Amino acid sequence: MGDLKLLKKVLIGNRITKLDLPDLSSLRDQVANSLRQAILTGAIMPGERINEEKFANYFGTSRPPLREAIRILEKEGLLVSSPRRGAKVRAFSGVEILEIYEVRFAIEYCAAMAVSRLQDNETFDTLEKSLHLGRKTQIGLSDAITEDLVFHRLLVESSRNSKLLEMWDLIAGQLRLALVLINPKYFEEEFIVSTHLSQIAAMRRGDLAELHSVLGSFDEVAQNLKQRWENFRIV
């Protein structure tokens, strides 16, 4: 398993190279943040086990902070543990992928309707700017996914419905993990323009029927992810 080599690459890329804080909670949180980053970028793949000895040695810490970090990521749905087998990165079934996307659609459609009814041009402008379209330099798939999720969270936040935002945040970790296996075409600028800008335009017009139709692109993404996760689990 090459998890530690990949993890090192991710951590160095994010300028996290040493964890030597004396406070247990701070150390726990830094380990959790580093593991989370590695999982959500695919440096540690779904189904891979977290070998406590190897990871504790890598972080230069004892096992207790690592175990605390593992418990944090279990609550977020990124890791799962079983007796005598330890923790491993969560893997999804095709059914679970569709369930995540059904919940996502419900949350974001309700949020988009709310934003549409508010008719706040400043909000629409902010959403458009968050897409970073027409950039001069290319970015990797992981960064593109991160930027896209920033847009979607901003959309939900702009609904001014705190409960919708709480629900979106509740599934955000699992959604980001699910996207590890996404087809890159869904994060190319052409797709972003055809879906996200169309969604904002529909909200500006208050066209809820068009808004529902545009958000139907979630189903295409969900079906693609479902197939990829089912194939991944067979390997």
Radius of gyration of the chain (CA): 19
pLDDT of residue 22: 43
Q: Read off the pTM.
A: 0.81
pLDDT of residue 112: 97
pLDDT of residue 125: 95
Task: Give the phi and the psi of residue 79 in degrees, each rounded to 5.
Answer: -120, 150
pLDDT of residue 234: 55
pLDDT of residue 4: 52
Domains of the chain: 3-89 (1.10.10.10), 94-234 (1.20.120.530)
d(CA 57, CA 63): 9
d(CA 232, CA 29): 30
Is residue 70 within 8 Å of residue 191, measured between CB atoms?
no
Nearest to 38 by CA among 70, 6, 86, 12: 6
CB atoms < 10 A from the CB of 187, how many? 20
pLDDT of residue 192: 83
d(CA 44, CA 33): 13
pLDDT of residue 113: 96
CA 115 to chain centre: 23
Full pLDDT tens readout for the chain, 235 residues: 444 555 555 444 443 333 343 455 588 888 998 899 889 888 888 999 999 999 888 878 889 999 999 999 998 889 999 888 889 999 999 999 999 999 999 999 999 999 999 999 999 999 999 988 766 677 788 888 988 999 999 999 999 999 999 999 999 999 999 999 999 999 888 888 889 999 999 999 999 999 999 998 899 999 999 999 999 865 4
